[in-house]
Amino acid sequence: NNGASRVVMPRSHHTADGHVQLSRVAALFSLTDMSDGPPRSRHRYTCKHEVSGRVRIHGVLNPAAFSDASTYLLVECAEVSDTDADADCIAQEKALLDDLRKVVSMRGRAGNPLRRWELTHDARGVPFVTDNDQIPHISEESLTRSSADRDGFWRLADLWQGHIERRIVALRQTKGRASSEDAALRPLLEGEAVTAGEELARLMDLLLASDAHAERLSLLQAAADEESRRLAALAALQVSFGGEPRA
């Protein structure tokens, strides 16, 4: 399987008893180039890759490597194929793009709470500036260049992930700006951010695990519909009460 140049990237989460579980289905990356990172870089390697499909993980061959971090995990896996490869999903694909454009419109009406530039610190405490506009996200421009067909769907899923990640960043920015009088809002905002992250993880797991294009379209469309309703409510609050846009 040319394991030296193919990398499986499963999602993971910690269980209540302290164990780590890997998602059963994961994206498969094929490395096209790898070199040492530049001097003083925060990254050991610079890699170029392409996403070449999805795989179902059947087993981990060296689980002890996870705890001692001595090497990469080695897995047995098989590529995943769609069971509805011959299905015509054009109407569903168009409906999904329409619903994503509605989310963009509702976000515009509700206002954009995300602050673009943010000073953060790496693991060593070294400060650096993050440009949050670099997070891929749904917009009129990105959707015009996108397709909801079988090949283009995963680009849409990536844009959706960026949309939610931008909301999470905005929630934590708002939490950081909360005054002492608004201290009670901080745990609520953090709770919203955590919930949004958990819901995103569940959705991405479902999309990866699905073996039908039509089902994936329905899952992402349901998420877009729910987000449109949430943003419509925020837009109504903005009209009634004003103030800073809400995440």
Per-residue pLDDT tens digits for 92-107: 999 999 999 999 999 9
Strand partners, 31: 49
Q: What is the pLDDT of residues 132-141, one digit of tens each?
A: 999 999 999 9
Q: What pLDDT is attached to residue 124?
A: 80
- Distance set, CA 224 to CA 1, 10, 103, 135 (Å): 37, 24, 7, 18
What average pLDDT does the chain have?
A: 90
71 CB contacts (<8 Å, ≥6 apart)? 62, 65
Residue % of the chain over a pLDDT of 70: 98
Q: What pLDDT is attached to residue 72?
A: 86
Q: What pLDDT is attached to residue 56?
A: 93
Separation between Cα atoms, residue 67 and residue 88, nearest integer Å:
46
Separation between Cα atoms, residue 38 and residue 35, nearest integer Å:
9
Separation between Cα atoms, residue 224 and residue 23, nearest integer Å:
23
Angle between helices 213-241 and 90-110 (to 10 degrees): 20
- Distance set, CA 45 to CA 16, 26, 121, 209 (Å): 33, 22, 20, 29
Separation between Cα atoms, residue 81 and residue 164, nearest integer Å:
28
